[in-house]
Amino acid sequence: MINKIIDNSVDDSVTEQRISWGECPVDQYEAEACFSENSTFELGTVCLNGQKHKIDIRFPFSHCYRIIDRELAIVLYQVPKLPIVGIEYPLYKVKNSLLIQQIVNEAGGVLEKEELEHYQVLAVNIVIDVVLYKNEHFSIEGLGGTNGKMDK
């Protein structure tokens, strides 16, 4: 069963690198995926509800998104374990992305690795991966505890 979840054509020896992205406060977040108003299957917003902060991350059209239980993601993918206190930074840009590599392999020459970017939201309950075109903007809105709006 795991072989069907993980594409065997992807090189598992590659190590993904996570880079903190945006300006989000550290907290113990639970995430919720809210889908686009335009369709019932397109990810529109990721809502992060922390103990002290609330953040909405609004994404444009994405080539791919993956929503998976945090504990399962730790076993199947290169996702860091949850810190003991559960407090962590929530948003990362992923370099050397295995997910992008898998998308490019499946696209059969239509997409190039260099034209895609992989972002990852880590929360205590789920992990959300989003793949966008390179340099595509998304907004991070802090509600309570943070102020302002930011495009990345």
Pairing of strands 30-35, 64-69: unpaired
pLDDT in tens, 88-133: 999 999 999 999 999 999 988 899 999 999 999 999 999 999 999 9
CA gap 77, 94 in Å, rounded: 13
pTM: 0.81
Domain chopping of the chain, boundaries: 2-25+62-139
Query: What is the share, in percent, of the chain residues with pLDDT greater than 70?
Result: 80
